[in-house]
């Protein structure tokens, strides 16, 4: 099994990703979740992580609070997509379990040091806490097995601005630090997530699983994806977060290239853009595997199988 630290600001699509991971105990061991400020403020993302652990029947998985704001910029949230709690849709009970006392950044550092070469950072959110961990304890860079992150956009341009994807835009300095850290990194950008559309038939199949996790996930996605359906006018909305576990479970259903990816930190209209050197025009280090394509039918099969294993 692959040992994971999950960085997350759920967020309905990230809830689907987390549940997908929890449904595959044969493939993943979740060491802990670090709640991040992003889609909504930290108090809500922390609460949402706890609610999801209870929904999945996994109160044993520790949840840590990370930093309440990005490194250098005021927090930009996406409550227009995710609702005032960040996880609107089904009414999930107020969690009885508590977050850990330790700070999320120290959890990352301590865990990576204790398990050198064994921990995958599964990043669904802005990268603030990983960047702070790398600044506080630079030795962890060579001890992290790899990073698999939903972040960035190039061929599909932006979703929070015309040029930037949300997770990168919220904390571009953090993304820059992480991408320059010399860690094996895979990025699942909008280029691929925009191909993974939650058609009505797919959401119906999710609901038809009949278990509480399947039904709640369908309800969550119906809430958050309504915004994207209006925006894009496609027959389904992009489902971002689960691309991360799907890539770890079945890399063969995706296609990409090892290239240089640089984050724009100064652009007047391109702040937070991930500039992907797809055609290898520069000699800059090929610091990330950039996923550009994937098979949506196989992706949803994996997601549904996994959700079906949960309560």
Which of 71, 88, 70, 92 has the alpha carbon at shortest distance from 79? 88
**Is the Cβ–Cβ distance between 22 and 60 less than 8 Å?**
no
Per-residue binding letters, 143-182, with ligand BDR (x by CB under 6 A): -------x--------x-----xxx---------------
Q: Would you state the structure tokens that stand for residue 206, as one six-digit string? A: 């999710």
**Peptide bond before residue 214 is cis, with ω within 30 degrees of 0:** no
**Closer CB to ligand BDR, 8 or 143, in the complex:** 8
**Is the Cβ–Cβ distance between 265 and 287 less than 8 Å?**
no
Stretch of 6-14, 57-65, 115-123, 270-278 lying at the interface with ligand BDR (CB under 6 A): 6-14
The catalytic residue among 44, 82, 194, 240 is 240
**Considering the rule CB under 6 A, would residue 36 count as an interface residue with ligand BDR?**
no
CB of 218 vs ligand BDR, minimal distance in Å: 17
**Closer CB to ligand BDR, 18 or 109, in the complex:** 18
**Considering the rule CB under 6 A, would residue 228 count as an interface residue with ligand BDR?**
no
**Closer CB to ligand BDR, 140 or 167, in the complex:** 167
Stretch of 9-17, 42-50, 107-115, 194-202 lying at the interface with ligand BDR (CB under 6 A): 9-17
Interface residue with ligand BDR, options 236, 241, 245, 272 (CB under 6 A): 241
| CA gap 224, 196 in Å, rounded | 15
| CA gap 102, 215 in Å, rounded | 33
CB of 158 vs ligand BDR, minimal distance in Å: 9
- Helices in 250-295 by DSSP H: which ranges? none
Helix (H) or strand (E) holding 120: strand 119-123
| CA gap 35, 240 in Å, rounded | 18
CB of 148 vs ligand BDR, minimal distance in Å: 13
- Residue 123, CA atoms < 13 Å, CB-side half-sphere: 30
Please report, as residue ranges, which positions from 70 to 109 form the binding site for ligand BDR (by CB under 6 A): 78, 81
**Closer CB to ligand BDR, 124 or 175, in the complex:** 124
Count of residues touching ligand BDR (by CB under 6 A): 14
Distance (Å) of CA 9 to CA 3, 38, 98, 213, 281: 20, 6, 17, 19, 35
| CA gap 98, 53 in Å, rounded | 11
Task: With both helix axes pointing from N to C terminus, report the angle between 296-308 and 200-207 in degrees, rounded to the nearest 10.
Answer: 20
**Closer CB to ligand BDR, 34 or 124, in the complex:** 124
* Catalytic annotation present for 240: yes
**Considering the rule CB under 6 A, would residue 124 count as an interface residue with ligand BDR?**
yes
**Closer CB to ligand BDR, 106 or 156, in the complex:** 156
Mind giving me the DSSP string for 3-32?
Answer: EEEEEE---HHHHHHHHHHHT-TTTEEEEE
Interface residue with ligand BDR, options 120, 240, 245, 289 (CB under 6 A): 240
Stretch of 8-16, 20-28, 210-218, 248-256 lying at the interface with ligand BDR (CB under 6 A): 8-16
Q: Would you state the structure tokens that stand for residue 33, as one six-digit string? A: 């979740």
The SS3 of residue 70 is coil
Interface residue with ligand BDR, options 36, 39, 120, 306 (CB under 6 A): 39
- Residues identified as active-site: 240
Note the residues at the interface with ligand BDR (CB under 6 A). 11, 13-14, 39, 78, 81, 124, 150, 159, 165-167, 240-241
């Amino acid at each position: 099994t692959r040992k994971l630290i999950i960085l997350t600001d759920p967020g309905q699509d990230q809830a689907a990703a987390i549940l997908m991971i929890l449904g595959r105990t044969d493939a993943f061991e979740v060491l802990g979740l670090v709640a991040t400020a992003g889609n909504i403020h930290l108090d809500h993302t922390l609460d949402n992580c706890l609610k999801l652990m209870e929904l999945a029947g996994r109160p044993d998985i520790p949840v840590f609070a990370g930093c309440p704001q990005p490194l250098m910029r005021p927090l930009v949230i996406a409550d227009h997509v995710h609702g005032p709690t960040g996880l609107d849709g089904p009414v999930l009970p107020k969690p009885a379990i508590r977050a850990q006392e330790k700070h999320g950044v120290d959890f990352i550092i301590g865990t990576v040091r204790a398990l050198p070469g064994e921990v995958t950072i599964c990043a669904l959110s802005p990268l603030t806490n990983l960047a702070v961990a790398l600044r506080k304890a630079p030795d962890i860079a060579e001890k992290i097995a790899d990073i698999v992150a939903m972040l960035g956009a190039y061929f599909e341009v932006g979703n929070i601005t015309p040029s930037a994807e949300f997770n990168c835009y919220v904390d571009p300095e953090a993304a820059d630090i992480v991408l320059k850290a010399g860690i094996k990194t895979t990025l699942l950008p909008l280029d691929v997530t925009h191909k993974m559309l939650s058609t009505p038939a797919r959401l119906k199949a999710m609901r038809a699983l009949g278990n509480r996790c399947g039904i709640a996930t369908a309800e969550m996605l119906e809430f958050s994806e309504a915004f994207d359906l209006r925006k894009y006018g496609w027959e389904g909305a992009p489902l971002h977060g689960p691309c991360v576990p799907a890539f770890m479970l079945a890399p063969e259903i995706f296609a990409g290239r090892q290239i240089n990816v640089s984050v724009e930190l100064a652009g007047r209209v391109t702040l937070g853009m991930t500039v992907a050197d797809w055609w290898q025009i520069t000699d800059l280090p090929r610091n990330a595997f950039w996923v550009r394509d994937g098979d949506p039918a196989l992706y949803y099969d994996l997601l549904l199988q996994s959700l079906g294993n949960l309560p």
